[in-house]
Amino acid sequence: MSQLDMLVSIIVPAYNAQLHLAECLDSLLKQTYSNLQIIVVDDGSTDNTAVICDEYRKKDERIVVIHKENEGVSAARNTGINVAVGEYIQFVDADDLLVAYAIEHVVQKVKSLCADVLYFSFEAFDKEGIYRPVPEHKKFPSAVITSRKKIFQLIHEGIIGNHVWTFCFRKDFLKSHRLQFDSKIPYGEDILFVNQIATVPQKFCCLNESLYRYRKSEQTVTQCHSLKNSLSDLEVVRQLDALHMKYTDLDDEGYHILRIRMLIDAYSILPLSKKQKDAKSIKKHIVNEIRNTKKTNLLNGLSKKYLLKYVLVMLNMYDLIASLKKLLKK
């Protein structure tokens, strides 16, 4: 396979990413597939991210750096899409890594199937460098999928995840359907984007390999807890509801499971502090939304983690258990 056959644009949104950005970019420069455009979007960082970006731009002419004011990860990704000149687009977060042969294997697959969208698996790793594989990739279908309903079934069953960095997209596919991230949504933007992608006619395929390394940290999890992020999750649910009302041929039987998972996520990231008066009314709203969602196939559809959270939320015990866990960690 000629390295000049297909240019792939890798988009890296970076905000205050000085701790891990260099390691991320090194993993991209070490790709066995060399025909790359690496777009690093410095989203108004206040640390040394901009300096690191400029240093790497000098190291390799394949790196394009864009410095812009802070508007959030969705706007940063959209900026990258607009600048991309590759035939395919891959997203990578600034604190994560790509396996050295990732792009080579992705290109081989999308070329052989002329795919518009490709999905692959990932592994999470912590600060000790311990990797935790995601087992779902063993269930990936081998054939090209063109059925919108089938793609949604895979999403709702959790076989296809909602992390945008586990997808590779044909750029003309995104452009022709005007598919971009909602820059008004600061949290949960990936799941909305992936579901919007799934509504569009396409040739979709899966690659049965773990090619991405996701860095999991306690700090990241802690930063997710906020009233703003919970409201963002609820806005995503609202837009997904509208999506499923518009497209009547989607997998409605599976959507209620995804909806409950998202509502539980919205509940679990609300601050525990009693000083947050708005949180109390939002929690009540979320519980009512969960109660109004169909409960068929709940036991098989929810993982043990979500099933436990569901029970605790419905019994009004989630906050108590979460507070105790927080207390024990101190």
What's residue 254's pLDDT? Answer: 79
Model confidence pLDDT, tens digit, residues 114-136: 999 999 999 988 776 677 666 55
Dihedral (Cα; 274, 276, 278, 281), 10-degree rounding: -20
C-beta separation of 37 from 111 below 8 A: no
Q: Report the C-alpha gap between 169 and 116 in whole angstroms.
A: 6
**Which residues of the chain, if any, have pLDDT below 70?**
1-4, 128-129, 132-138, 218-223, 251-252, 273-276, 330
Model confidence pLDDT, tens digit, residues 243-280: 888 887 776 677 888 899 999 999 999 987 666 678 88
What's residue 70's pLDDT? Answer: 95
DSSP state of 216: P
DSSP string, 107-153: HHHHHHHT-SEEEEEEEEE-TT--EEE-GGGGG---S-B--HHHHHH
Give the 3-state secondary structure of residue 169: strand
What's residue 249's pLDDT? Answer: 72
What's residue 1's pLDDT? Answer: 44
What's residue 98's pLDDT? Answer: 97
Pairing mode of beta strands 8-14, 36-43 = parallel
CATH number of 8-217: 3.90.550.10
Give residue limits of the domains in the chain: 8-217, 225-329
Count Cβ neighbours within 10 Å for each residue of 238-266 and write b for 16 or more, e otherwise: ebbeebbeeeeebbeebbbbbbbbbbbbb
C-beta separation of 284 from 313 below 8 A: no
Count Cβ neighbours within 10 Å for each residue of 189-202 and write b for 16 or more, e otherwise: bbbbbbbbbbbbeb
| pTM for the whole structure | 0.90
